[in-house]
A and B are shown apart, each in its own frame.
Chain A
Amino acid sequence: MPLIQVKDLYKIYQMGNTEVRALDGVSLSIEKNEYVSIMGPSGSGKSTLMNLLGCLDTPSSGDFYMDGINVATMTDNELAHIRNKKIGFVFQTFNLLPKSTSLRNVELPLIYNGEVKAQFRKDLAMKALNRVNLGDRVGHKPNELSGGQRQRVAIARALVNDPAIILADEPTGNLDSKTGEEIMALFDDLHALGNTIILVTHEEYIAEHAQRIVRLLDGKIAVDELTKKKKK
């Protein structure tokens, strides 16, 4: 049974008279511990797909099974639980809380995880921040950080609950190539540890870290291929 299975997924926005087909019949299945890059030109539907896979958005039509369970049948609380424990989401626009420090931002998923006691939160959040090399910026608020540092806070926050699936929408978009490589090394490690990783990128050399590349064009899957890494 695939970890993620989508069939004929459509996401259509009605803008007045014109309709925008952000996703136009996407079928895809991703196994546990797969490492997938999603590529495609701007506006091709990558973020839309990620939001659906992250259980944040609902499709106009089509089915989405996670671990064999139809996501459409899940209750609001079950979805919240999945978003909290199972998925670590790195947003293209970071979505950090502007008035909270890096540490507070990274602690957020732990607050909604009923199993982590308050006294362990800070330690876990510190660990996650250290993993992205931000141990010295815990007290900074987002507007006191550089773009790349904010991106790394967003990554730390996605990792902190130790989720099985990591969905990262352009996680290296604001990073120089050296820091980008460091983050990719982190994802590579997580993959080696058994996590499933799906990331969106515009850079071929980033995409090559994955085993598989899905290329979108106008809301449809144009190419679904294995990388050299997998072929090896």
Chain B
Amino acid sequence: MGGFFWENMRIALSELWGHKTRSILTATGIVIGIIAVSLMSTLINGVDGLFENSMKFLGRGNLYVDKWPWFGDEDWWTLRNRPRIELDMAEDIEERSTYAIAVAAQRGRSADLSYKEYSSEGIFINGVSANYPDVSTIDVEFGRFFTGSEDRTGAQVIILGSDVAKALFPFEDPIDKEIFVGSSRFRVIGVLAEMGKFLGTFSQDAQVIIPIKTFNKIFHGPWGMRRITVKVPEEHIEDAKEELRGIVRVLRGQKPEEKDNFAINQQKAFRQQYQGIKLAIGGTGLVITALSLLVGGIGIANIMFVSVKERTREIGVRKALGATRGKILGQFLIESMLITASGGIVGLLVSTLASLAINKFLFPASMSFGVAFMAIALSATVGLIAGLAPARKGSLLDPIEALRYE
């Protein structure tokens, strides 16, 4: 049986070789289909990795009390007119919530930094309470974070994101140096480890952190973001969210019939949004794949019918010499599967190159073994299905009729 397979492979290869142009043209649809499906899954894998990496910045057990919901279709004016988040709620929340592990207040806006002749413009100034490290994934690589008493007293101390540190201190050790935030002097007490970008755009390394009391002292006015982050046990996050909603409503004195005038955001919202996008990408890719495989498959079936017709005498000779229907069927099926599998391999090579390029220029992406295997199996299956009718036709030929065929 093994011998029969290799014999047919040999025949199929020499047939394909004998009709090079025809074979290449026929396999093009399959090549495109396989490129579509393998590149798409590679892309999704890559974007997935990117997404998961970004999600690390938003702890799974974190609830964010914000003015704006991250996603949703509420009326912009209603949202805009909501009161801003009162950061002193943080203490009350901590007191009343049964789930809260840590409650941190945060303000943010951008400002320009400078040190000697170096400067950085539009840097995100992150004013946070001293327990901020408990609710975030920041990691102080050099120096230290500020203390509770530094926060209470509004000390002018600052922790630099790694990019900021590099920009302001290309040749010096930043620790204990004095820099300017706007016109206020700050002493650098720490440098954060590199974190990367959030969803490929907002660099987490181009920020600086100062105590929130200091922030309040320096920056007046209503602008900038205000947020209370509540860390709760991940497994109770839904209950904790309901409780938190109630607490904030009471603190704000909202009437029962009033809608919430604040938002509680969580990582899940990103996830849901992302799933939607992923589904859309995947769906489009699948439609392209299905269409090109269908068209490719029809082409293969057509060319196999032509091949069976051209080789009627050959089939007659083989049957006269003892080939059974099954062997003729097998011969033509192997041939059509070889065409499509070769198309699949070519498609796979192209998308491997493409994914190398994506990896180099866009984001981390690599073709997984599973995807490669799936692509080859899929293309061979298309060959099998497309070859079935023509192969059957050949296998059912009457030997003497086939031998007489001119």
Name A residues whose Cβ lies closer than 8 Å to a Cβ of B. Answer: 51, 54, 56-57, 76-77, 80-81, 83-85, 89, 91, 95-97, 99, 108-109, 111-114, 117-118, 157, 161
Contacts and interface: CB of A to CB of B under 8 A. Distances in A.
A108 B315 CA distance: 12
B3 A118 contact: yes
Nearest to B6: A118
A95 B316 CA distance: 9
Nearest to A105: B317
Contacts of B327: 112
Task: Identify which of A77, A96, A112, A161 gathers the most chain B CB atoms within 10 Å of its CB.
Answer: A112
B18 A99 contact: yes
Nearest to B324: A80
Nearest to A86: B322
User: Which of B321, B326, B399 is the most central at the interface, judged by chain A CB atoms within 10 Å of its CB?
Assistant: B321
Contacts, number: 66
A193 to B, nearest CB: 21
Contacts of A89: 320-321
A85 B323 CA distance: 11
Contact of A56 (B18, B313, B324, B399): B399
B324 A97 contact: no
Given A56-B399, A56-B403, A108 B317 contact: yes
Contacts of A85: 322
B320 A112 contact: no
B334 to A, nearest CB: 13
Chain B CB within 10 Å, residue with most, of A81, A96, A118? A118
A157 B317 CA distance: 11
A54 B4 CA distance: 24
Interface of B: 1-4, 6-7, 14, 18, 313-314, 316-327, 399-400, 403
A32 B346 CA distance: 57
B403 A76 contact: no
12 contacts: A54-B320, A56-B320, A57-B400, A83-B320, A83-B321, A91-B320, A108-B318, A108-B321, A109-B321, A112-B323, A118-B7, A157-B321
Contacts of A117: 3
Contacts of A76: 324-325
A-B complex: 5 closest residue pairs judged by Cβ atoms: A84-B322, A118-B3, A112-B322, A80-B324, A57-B400
Q: Is the interface of B mostly helix, strand, loop or mixed?
A: helix
A51 B14 contact: no
B4 A95 contact: no
B197 to A, nearest CB: 59
A51 B400 contact: yes
A161 B231 CA distance: 83
A117 B1 CA distance: 9
Nearest to B322: A84
Given A56-B403, A97-B314, A118-B6, A83 B322 contact: yes
A108 B7 CA distance: 10
B400 A95 contact: no
Given A89-B320, A108-B321, A95 B313 contact: yes
Contacts of A95: 313, 316-317, 320, 403
Given A76-B324, A95-B320, A111-B3, 4 more contacts: A56-B320, A80-B325, A89-B321, A118-B7
A109 B322 contact: yes
A76 B6 CA distance: 24
A77 B325 contact: yes
Contacts of B320: 54, 56, 83, 89, 91, 95
A77 B400 contact: no
B106 to A, nearest CB: 75
Nearest to A76: B325
A95 B313 CA distance: 8
A97 B326 CA distance: 20
Contacts of A56: 320, 399-400, 403
A95 B321 CA distance: 10
A157 B4 CA distance: 18
Given A56-B399, A118-B6, A112 B18 contact: no
Given A51-B400, A81-B322, A112-B327, A97 B317 contact: yes
Contacts of A80: 319, 322-325
A77 B399 contact: no
Given A51-B400, A112-B327, A84 B321 contact: yes
Given A83-B322, A95-B316, A111 B400 contact: no
B1 to A, nearest CB: 8
A12 to B, nearest CB: 15
Given A76-B325, A83-B320, A99-B14, A111 B4 contact: yes
A17 B329 CA distance: 37
A97 B11 CA distance: 12
A77 B319 CA distance: 10
A118 B399 CA distance: 25
A112 B3 contact: no
Nearest to B327: A112
B331 to A, nearest CB: 10
Contacts of A114: 1
Contacts of A99: 14, 18
A83 B399 CA distance: 11
A188 B376 CA distance: 55
Contacts of B316: 95
A81 B324 CA distance: 8
A157 B6 CA distance: 21
Contacts of A57: 399-400
